[in-house]
Amino acid sequence: MSFIWHHHDDEDEFFLVVRGQMTIMLSGEEVTLREGEFFIVPRGVEHKPVAADEAHILMFEPSGTLNTGNIRDKHTVDELEKI
């Protein structure tokens, strides 16, 4: 599955792969993460998360962060489910 290119003006995003593998595409670079590995996308950096197969990801970001950052499209979730 591939997400959209986007960035967050004011928030960093922390991605931790719990199961599987994913790639975070950046301008001119790709960061591949395997189980137990993490990456922090700094605020303002355009990125696109991609996973060829199912991956379980733990993300940390400030509450209220729009999942699609500066873009609004079919992937945008205005209100996240709280658990």
Q: Specify if 80 maps to a domain.
A: no
Q: Specify if 83 maps to a domain.
A: no
Question: Is the model's pTM score more than 0.95?
Answer: no
State the CATH number of the domain containing residue 69. Answer: 2.60.120.10
* Burial call 7-26: b when 16+ CB within 10 Å, e when fewer: bbeebebebbbeeeebbbbb
Q: Specify if 82 maps to a domain.
A: no
Please tell me which residue, 59 or 82, carries the higher pLDDT value.
Answer: 59
Per-residue pLDDT tens digits for 4-23: 898 899 999 999 999 999 99
H/E element, 32:
strand 29-34
CA distances in angstroms from 79 to 18, 22, 33, 65, listed in the order given: 24, 25, 28, 10
Per-residue pLDDT tens digits for 47-65: 999 999 999 999 887 777 7
Q: How many Å separate Cα 56 from the centre of its chain?
A: 12
